Structure 1
């Protein structure tokens, strides 16, 4: 019993430091996206949505409606996307700024 107590004490001390910065891949976007709009510009790590919001997509997971993984090259100007951001509210600049955690392609440009 003493051995178990010592191990649990050591683990309880070190565990927060070991797991502190791990990325949580189990997170699933909520039913309501932060933003839905038409892509008006695609840049190296940014999407401009409806000429009003720049979204950083460098570390975002991108997928289609069937949850098939996408690359940035699969998203084109004119496509409609749902975006879930890390921030609760977009940064109110002109254009507004946000960081995407998930991007879902809804409709391809015709």
Structure 2
């Protein structure tokens, strides 16, 4: 089996400034393609999009200085249950995100 290396470069931004970071993930194996499913709330401020069988990305729109700014995190399905990686902008959006996950991932 061929080993692949994925180099991820990103930018970590805080209120005090920006800090660049680099991380390496080894032995990345391709998953079977999954038809991408997207779950959205009624107002369109939260969406949960399937990346593969066990990984979903959640995106919420928060407002900063009057501008809509997206916030992202992950929902992982594991043999032991669900894992929420990073919550949303505020308690209200986080509560709605958790309710959406509980409603849509009951059998996961």
Question: What TM-score comes out, normalization by structure 2 length?
Answer: 0.21
TM-score by length of 1: 0.21
- Greater RCO (CA < 8 Å, at least 6 residues apart): 1
From the two aligned structures, give the one with the greater strand fraction: 2
- Structure that is richer in helix per residue: 1
